[in-house]
């Protein structure tokens, strides 16, 4: 089975190795080596070593991200997420394309596949169960719960799979499995928060392990497990389709489109203005709904604070602190809605991908013309939240005599981030064009940008109290727009291309 | 006007698709490139339209390096923005190509050329059949009268009447353009083209259509591994 899996899985890796000049020189791999079965078999011996290093590295990166995130989030929230990941990422009973081939083409027995996967995932689980609790304990500077954490992660991994086996007869096991799973995690957290001796919980976990093992052992018929596996395999194509749908649904056009109005629109607009108007009017769920909802939230929050100021309900609270909280919350809201990115995905998938196949659409002037129209629309989308912000800032300054410099910083920050989140993805889109048609393989630059934005959204924001923040933000924004527009004008004929 | 390809080579990994390919296409002729599946027909088109970088060689249009703006490419899978109606797309297309004599007031007459019913003008493109999409795409490219027109597997998805109409449209612009179509169906090549060229082992080989055994010759070339 190892050989078959190796053939299935590592051809692409070998191919990559061969194509990499440095690696091929070091290992003296010749161009036709990937056809050499013996060499493949030899390399297979080293694969687990690479795999272990990769797992450790991966978990260290995750740990780093969690540590960065924990500056703002609570420690127990992190612990909660870790336990969730432990259970939901457990996949011995899951399936993939290779498993399907092993089953259907090579008729490998279920038991062999199960144990094979179990062994392969052992190292992965071990590193996860060790590195995360250790990192977490270092973070909260408390090693008292370390053994409990390690055991509980292993337990949740075991629970995720054993419970599937125990309730295999149920039609929709998720209804029972997931609420129970989350309840267990909550119990663990309550134990930690209330400082109850976690070893009481370990007793319960141990009882579950013993009982479930007995029950599973009693189900001697291997076919039962085979059935579960086959059930998964049958839904494999559907699963893949549902994953694809996730990407495409995100960019789908509105359902209630009425093309009958189009003649009047055609009379009113021409060329790219016509195209853009029709695009936006048929993708309102992507830009209009989030804009409406976020503006309503913004309005409600500002009204509440205005009410609190009016009734003098916050006499001892620092005004600067309120501004910091409001700005942070607003930035988080913009990040969560992600309208800018969803819009460029829709631009690409529903229009640009197709039109970039035409020569006219790749002309420098045409690209630039359309970019400016889209940039203008990005500004228009920002007008409503900025106006709401302006009105309330003025009310707070004039009516409630709030400090001018702090309120000005607040207004400019909100305006800056509203514009930034709307236009930045547009620049990234034109300069890097990070997507393929199915939107599932974005270029690395977008991932980096996503991580940086994520870190920025969650970290502390001391700069909100800087004296000259308003001027700095205005200068940055103007320079950024000018520079990006110049870059778009000069480089997009080479960068703005379709990818399959 | 002529399209000259000199020593064109393109490979993917260790697979050599085009090998030192040399050929000259002339205006006023319709060329049909015949080849087996995977012989490199689409790759050749992608190189000519500059959508794919090639490893070696040059492509000239009238002794100057070809510019992708001179090439019209009709794809096998129609490339159209599906959130628009056919009418909206043609209007937008006419607006952009005013310099080529297209006029948004003539959109109705454009539709008539491809036998669209009036009811279909204002339907979303996503609701069109593949054949309708193909006709619309081909019409757009033909309307711009490109110097070089590449048609990748055209007519195969069209019904008999649509295929005949498209053939007429292609013949109308034949004298002003270098037209190259790729196909693996011999009948289409025979029906529409003036010259049949076989793409085999990365090279283009002329076939004499007047020869009574030319079908046999094609088979021999393609089977010659």
Q: What is the pLDDT of residues B194-208, one digit of tens each?
A: 888 988 888 888 887
Distance in Å, alpha carbon of B3 to nearest chain A alpha carbon: 18
Q: Using CB atoms, which residue from A15, A278, A358 is nearest to B88?
A: A278
Distance in Å, alpha carbon of A338 to nearest chain B alpha carbon: 22
What span, in angstroms and rounded, lies between the C-alpha atoms of A350 and B82? 7
Which of A429-443, B19-33, B112-126 has the weakest average pLDDT?
A429-443
Q: Using CB atoms, which residue from B83, B87, B104 is nearest to A282?
A: B83
| Subunit contact B13:A15, Cβ cutoff 8 A | yes
Q: Using CB atoms, which residue from A259, A354, A360 is nearest to B85?
A: A259
Kindly tell me the sign of the dihedral angle through the C-alpha atoms of B87, B90, B95, B101: negative
Domain ranges of chain A: 46-239, 241-246+283-500
Single out the residue of A151, A266, A256, A143 nearest to residue A201, CA to CA. A151
Single out the residue of A89, A19, A9 nearest to residue A50, CA to CA. A9
Q: Give the pLDDT score at A82.
A: 62
Placement of tokens 């992608």 in the chain? B46
Q: In what order do the strands lie in the sheet with B203-207?
A: B71-74, B148-152, B178-183, B30-34, B195-200, B203-207
Q: Using CB atoms, which residue from B83, B84, B97 is nearest to A360?
A: B97
Q: Using CB atoms, which residue from B71, B92, B123 is nearest to A259?
A: B123
Q: Give the pLDDT score at A391.
A: 95
Q: List C-alpha distances in Å: A144 to A149, A166, A185, A274.
A: 10, 33, 19, 66
**pLDDT > 60? residue B4:** yes
Tell me: ipTM over 0.85. Answer: yes
| Subunit contact B72:A350, Cβ cutoff 8 A | no
Residues of A in contact with B49 (CB under 8 A): 359
Dihedral of CA atoms A287, A288, A291, A295 in degrees, nearest 10, equals 180
**pLDDT > 90? residue B213:** no
pTM over 0.80, yes/no: no
Residues of B in contact with A262 (CB under 8 A): 85, 87-88, 122
Q: Which of B53, B84, B87, B150 to mutate to probe the A interface, most A CBs <10 Å?
A: B84
Q: Residue A397 contacts by C-beta under 8 Å, 6 or more apart in sequence? A: A404, A407
Distance in Å, alpha carbon of A235 to nearest chain B alpha carbon: 28
| Subunit contact B88:A366, Cβ cutoff 8 A | no
Q: Give the pLDDT score at A86.
A: 61
Distance in Å, alpha carbon of B157 to nearest chain A alpha carbon: 19
Residues of A in contact with B143 (CB under 8 A): none
CB A384 within 8 A of CB A291: yes
Q: Give the pLDDT score at A58.
A: 65
Residue of chain A whose Cα is closest to the Cα of B80: A354
Residue of chain A whose Cα is closest to the Cα of B119: A260
Reported as type and span, the H/E element at residue B56 is strand B56-61
Residues of B in contact with A259 (CB under 8 A): 85, 88, 122-124
For residue B35, the tally of other CB atoms under 10 A from its CB is: 20
What does each of the 500 residues of chain A score in pLDDT, given as a tens digit? Answer: 444 444 444 445 555 555 566 655 555 545 444 455 555 555 555 555 666 666 667 666 666 666 665 554 455 555 656 666 665 555 555 555 566 666 666 666 666 766 776 776 676 777 777 877 787 777 767 777 778 778 878 888 788 777 777 776 665 555 666 677 677 777 776 666 666 676 777 788 888 889 888 887 776 555 555 555 555 544 445 545 555 565 667 788 888 777 778 888 999 999 999 999 999 999 999 999 889 988 998 999 899 889 888 888 777 778 888 888 888 888 888 888 888 888 999 999 999 999 998 888 888 899 999 999 999 999 999 999 999 999 999 999 999 888 888 899 889 999 999 999 889 889 999 998 888 887 877 787 887 777 777 777 666 677 777 778 888 889 999 999 999 999 999 998 888 888 87
Q: Give the pLDDT score at A34.
A: 46
What span, in angstroms and rounded, lies between the C-alpha atoms of B16 and B12? 6
Residues of B in contact with A36 (CB under 8 A): none
Q: Using CB atoms, which residue from A31, A270, A354 is nearest to B81?
A: A354
| Subunit contact A350:B83, Cβ cutoff 8 A | yes
Q: Give the pLDDT score at A69.
A: 56
Residue of chain A whose Cα is closest to the Cα of B124: A259
Interface of A with B (CB under 8 A): 15, 19, 31-32, 253, 257, 259-260, 262-263, 265-266, 270-272, 274-275, 278-279, 282-283, 350-351, 353-355, 357-360, 362-363, 366
Q: Which of A359, A361, A370, A499 to mutate to probe the B interface, most B CBs <10 Å?
A: A359
| Subunit contact B83:A283, Cβ cutoff 8 A | yes
Distance in Å, alpha carbon of B207 to nearest chain A alpha carbon: 31
Q: Using CB atoms, which residue from A351, A359, A362 is nearest to B81?
A: A351
Placement of tokens 């070893």 in the chain? A199
Q: List C-alpha distances in Å: B104 to A259, A266, A353, B172.
A: 18, 10, 24, 21
Residue of chain B whose Cα is closest to the Cα of A354: B79
Residue of chain B whose Cα is closest to the Cα of A356: B79
Fold of B2-223: Rossmann fold (3.40.50)
CB A102 within 8 A of CB A5: yes
Could you read off the pLDDT of B161-212 as tens digits, one per residue?
Answer: 777 777 887 888 888 899 999 887 788 788 888 888 988 888 888 887 777 7
Q: Is B111 helix (H, G, I), strand (E, B) or coil?
A: helix
Could you read off the pLDDT of B48-100 as tens digits, one per residue?
Answer: 988 888 888 999 988 888 888 889 998 888 899 999 999 999 999 999 999 88
Residues of B in contact with A366 (CB under 8 A): 96
Q: Residue B42 contacts by C-beta under 8 Å, 6 or more apart in sequence? A: B76, B152, B182
Across the range B128-133, mean pLDDT stands at 88
Please tell me which residue, B5 or A453, carries the higher pLDDT value: B5
Q: Give the pLDDT score at B37.
A: 80
Q: Give the pLDDT score at A232.
A: 53
Beta-strand pair B56-61/B64-65? antiparallel
């Amino acid at each position: 089975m190892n050989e078959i899996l190796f053939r299935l899985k590592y051809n692409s890796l070998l191919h990559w190795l061969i194509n990499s000049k440095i690696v091929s020189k070091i290992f003296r791999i010749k161009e036709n080596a990937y056809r050499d079965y013996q060499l493949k078999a030899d390399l297979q011996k080293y694969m687990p070593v690479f795999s272990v290093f990769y797992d450790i590295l991966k978990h260290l990166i995750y740990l780093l991200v969690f540590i960065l995130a924990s500056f703002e989030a609570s420690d127990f929230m992190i612990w909660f997420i870790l336990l969730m990941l432990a259970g939901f990422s457990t996949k011995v009973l899951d399936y993939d394309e290779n498993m399907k081939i092993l089953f259907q083409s090579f008729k490998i027995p279920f038991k062999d596949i199960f144990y094979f996967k179990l062994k392969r995932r052992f190292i992965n689980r071990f590193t996860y169960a060790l590195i995360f609790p250790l990192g977490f304990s270092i973070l909260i500077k408390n090693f008292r719960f370390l053994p409990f954490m390690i055991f509980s992660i292993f337990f949740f991994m075991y629970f995720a799979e054993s419970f599937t086996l125990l309730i295999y007869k149920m039609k929709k096991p998720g209804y029972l499995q997931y609420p129970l799973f989350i309840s267990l995690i909550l119990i663990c957290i309550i134990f930690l928060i209330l400082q109850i001796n976690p070893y009481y919980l370990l007793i319960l976990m141990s009882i579950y392990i013993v009982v479930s093992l007995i029950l599973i052992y009693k189900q001697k018929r291997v076919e039962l497990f085979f059935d579960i596996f086959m059930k998964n395999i049958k839904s494999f194509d559907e699963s893949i389709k549902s994953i694809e749908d996730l990407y495409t649904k995100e960019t789908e056009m509105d359902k209630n489109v009425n093309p009958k109005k189009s003649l009047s629109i055609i009379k009113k607009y021409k060329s790219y203005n016509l195209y853009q108007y029709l695009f936006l009017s048929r993708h309102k769920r992507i830009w209009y709904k989030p804009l409406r909802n976020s503006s309503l939230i913004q309005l409600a929050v500002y009204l509440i604070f205005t009410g609190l100021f009016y009734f003098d309900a916050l006499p001892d609270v620092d005004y600067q602190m309120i501004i910091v909280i409001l700005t942070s919350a607003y930035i988080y809201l913009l990040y969560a809605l992600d309208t800018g990115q969803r819009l460029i995905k829709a631009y690409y998938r529903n229009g640009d991908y197709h039109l970039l196949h035409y020569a006219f659409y790749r002309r420098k002037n045409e690209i630039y013309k359309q970019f400016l129209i889209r940039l203008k629309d990005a500004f228009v989308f920002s007008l409503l939240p900025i106006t709401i912000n302006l009105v309330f800032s003025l009310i707070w300054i004039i009516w409630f005599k709030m400090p001018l410099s702090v309120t000005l910083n607040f207004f400019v920050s909100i305006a800056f981030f509203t514009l930034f989140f709307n236009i930045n993805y547009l620049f990234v889109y034109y300069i890097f064009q990070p997507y393929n048609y199915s939107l599932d393989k974005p270029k690395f630059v977008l991932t980096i940008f996503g991580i940086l934005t994520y870190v920025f959204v969650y970290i502390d924001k001391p700069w909100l109290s800087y004296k000259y923040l308003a001027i700095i933000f205005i200068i940055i924004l103007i320079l950024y727009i000018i520079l990006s527009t110049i870059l778009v004008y000069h480089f997009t004929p080479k960068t703005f291309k379709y990818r399959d | 006007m002529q399209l000259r390809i000199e020593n064109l080579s393109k490979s993917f990994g260790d697979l050599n698709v085009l090998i030192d390919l040399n050929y000259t296409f002339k205006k006023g002729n319709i060329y049909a490139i015949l080849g087996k599946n995977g012989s490199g027909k689409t790759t050749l088109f992608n190189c000519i339209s500059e959508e794919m970088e090639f490893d070696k060689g040059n492509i000239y249009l009238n002794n100057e390096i070809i510019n992708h703006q001179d090439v019209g490419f009709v794809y096998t899978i129609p490339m159209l923005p599906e959130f628009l109606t056919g009418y909206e797309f043609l209007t937008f297309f006419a607006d952009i190509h005013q310099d080529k004599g297209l006029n948004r007031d003539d959109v109705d007459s454009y539709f008539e050329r491809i036998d669209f019913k009036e009811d279909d003008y204002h339907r979303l493109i996503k609701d069109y059949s593949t054949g309708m999409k193909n006709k619309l795409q081909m019409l757009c490219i033909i309307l711009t009268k490109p110097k070089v027109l590449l048609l990748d597997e055209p007519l195969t998805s069209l019904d008999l009447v649509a295929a005949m109409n498209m053939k007429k449209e292609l013949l109308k612009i034949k004298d002003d353009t270098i037209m190259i179509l790729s196909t693996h169906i011999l009948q289409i090549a025979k029906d529409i083209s003036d010259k049949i060229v076989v793409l085999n082992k990365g090279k283009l080989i002329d076939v004499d259509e007047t020869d009574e055994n030319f079908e046999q010759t094609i088979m021999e070339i393609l089977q010659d591994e």
